[in-house]
Structure 1
């Protein structure tokens, strides 16, 4: 199967990530490099959704002409060339029970903490299995997706959805998986800033609007890959200024060590889960 000839993609488990992948495949962001690789020269691929997550699946099938909801998970597999499994890890045995996956399919495993050896035992297939970490921004084709092991078809698919980052082994994959666990902490940090402003008499809507604008600017600066993250931080600081004061008094060595420990603990958990039933 050539990367640019994939025309049928199935998704089992249509939650937030499943929805984002469908949106990235079917519309995405105009002008994004590699968009043609995801959608193909003749438009987006056909997408087959499991009935799991029925409300989201129905909404997507109504919105996009090439998206269909299947009667069951077996029909998703049978109609697709690539099958993305996006159910919650704890639900995988129920969702995938008795599923027959032919060896000529490609299976993309996006279940956090579920290794490919575990999934292969569940599916009892010799089909290629690839782990991936798609993030919600994939809906706009602006998310780099980590994959393991590298597979030309899967890597090409994600390259067209914002970028692919193949890694050498499952240990490296788990490091990137742990990093994704920091995402909601960032949102909670921004919410804490708006709450602080509210305690000092700022209207909640005004604080929310300002914080969003402030950090959207930070997000745009991250696209400048000519400067390291340390350099970006330095460029936004004035010696003895406000930014330096908050960084050095709040993000202390003890604070940094606590973050490292939280990530180490999560990495240990993810590594332990790889072969757990």
Structure 2
């Protein structure tokens, strides 16, 4: 597939690294020239071109622009009617995007995360049709989202990553203070949590509940610490924080 990408910021650059080994020919725009040059030097199937040439020589176009840049740039270039467009911009609604890229067809919105560069990362796709799977499903995981409101909820929920990692760093620092083994403390916790979360196949629904049940031994360390935190409002704090983030979308 010939893929054109307008914009090579942090996320778009990570996306290129995540799909470049899937057999596509990728043409990136000259924006963020240092990133574009690094990608073209890293991958033989990645080339650089001006914006209009990116569109002219691509079967599908991915928009990795900031919303204000997209609103000023896209009216100045020409899309083809047979050209599906995927947006990485959750802030630009599909109704507005349709007019910005006409006569091309808007396939939907995709939200990758930095870990896509290494593979094994989720990619939120709204909606997740055949093209989305072909673009992002080679080494990463397409997460199907049905409506814009659902996408906003997923975007709010993804913010749990930083608090979860912060908890791990606090446990690492506590363990390091007790043992003096900073490297082993971090390695142990990463393996413990990562291994537990990925032990069950990704297709298995209820894996989180199963893992929690396995850690629910009465009087066990895991159950005791979990209940200690729940009694001090952990669930309410998480619910309140996620609702605050979700309200920022104004829906």
Q: What is the TM-score with the length of structure 1 in the denominator?
A: 0.78
Q: Counterpart in 2 of 1:98?
A: 76
Q: Give 1:139 shift.
A: 3.3
Matched, 1:132 2:110: yes
Contact 2:113 2:121 in 1 (8 A): yes
Aligned positions of 1:210-229 closer than 5 A: 210-223=188-201, 225=204, 227-229=206-208
Matches within 5 A, 1:196-207: 196-200=174-178, 202-207=180-185
Q: 5+ residue gaps in structure 2?
A: none
Instruction: Quote the offset at 1:89 in angstroms.
Output: 3.5
Query: How many Å separate the matches in 2 of 1:152 and 1:199?
Result: 51
Deviation of 1:268 (Å): 2.1
Equivalent position SS for 1:107: strand
Matched, 1:11 2:15: no
TM-superposed deviation, 1:8: 0.6
Correspondent of 1:260 among 234, 239, 245: 239
Determine the C-alpha separation between the residues in 1 that align with 2:201 and 2:250.
Answer: 31
Q: CA deviation at 1:48?
A: 0.8
Q: Distance in 2 between matches of 1:125 and 1:183?
A: 38
Equivalent in the alignment of 1:230 = 209
- Tell me how far apart the structure 2 counterparts of residues 58 and 48 of structure 1 sit (CA, whole Å): 11
Q: CA deviation at 1:227?
A: 5.0
Once residues 225 and 68 of structure 2 are traced to their aligned partners in structure 1, the CA distance between those partners, rounded to angstroms, is 41
Which structure has more relative contact order (CA 8 Å, sep 6+)? It is 1
Which residue, 2, 20, 38 being the options, matches 2:14? 20
Q: 1:78 to 1:192 in 2, by over 3 A?
A: farther
TM superposition outliers: structure 1 runs of 4+ over 4 Å: none
Counterpart of 1:243 in structure 2 is 222
Root-mean-square deviation (Å): 2.6
Partner of 2:28: 49
Partner of 2:125: helix, strand, or coil?
Answer: strand
CA contact (8 A) 2:196 2:211 kept: no
1:102 CA displacement: 2.1
Aligned to 1:67: 46
Inter-partner Cα distance in structure 2 for 1:158 and 1:243: 36
The question of whether the paired residues in 2 share the 8 Å contact of 1:178 and 1:270 is answered with: no
Which residue in 2 is equivalent to 1:87? Answer: 65
Alpha-carbon spacing, 1:239–1:48, altered in 2? closer, same or farther (3 Å): same
SS in 2 for 1:270: coil
Q: Per the alignment, in what secondary structure is the counterpart of residue 4 of structure 2?
A: strand
Distance in 2 separating the partners of 1:168 and 1:242? 39
Structure 2 counterpart of 1:173: 151
Q: CA deviation at 1:110?
A: 1.2
**CA displacement at 1:91 relative to structure 2:** 4.1
**Counterpart secondary structure, 2:201:** coil
Paired residues, what number?
250
1:250 Cα shift? 1.2
SS in 1 for 2:76: coil
Alignment of 1:160 onto 2:138: yes
Cα 1:88/1:201, change in 2 over 3 Å: farther
1:188 aligns with 2:166: yes
* Pairing partner for 2:95 from 104, 117, 129: 117
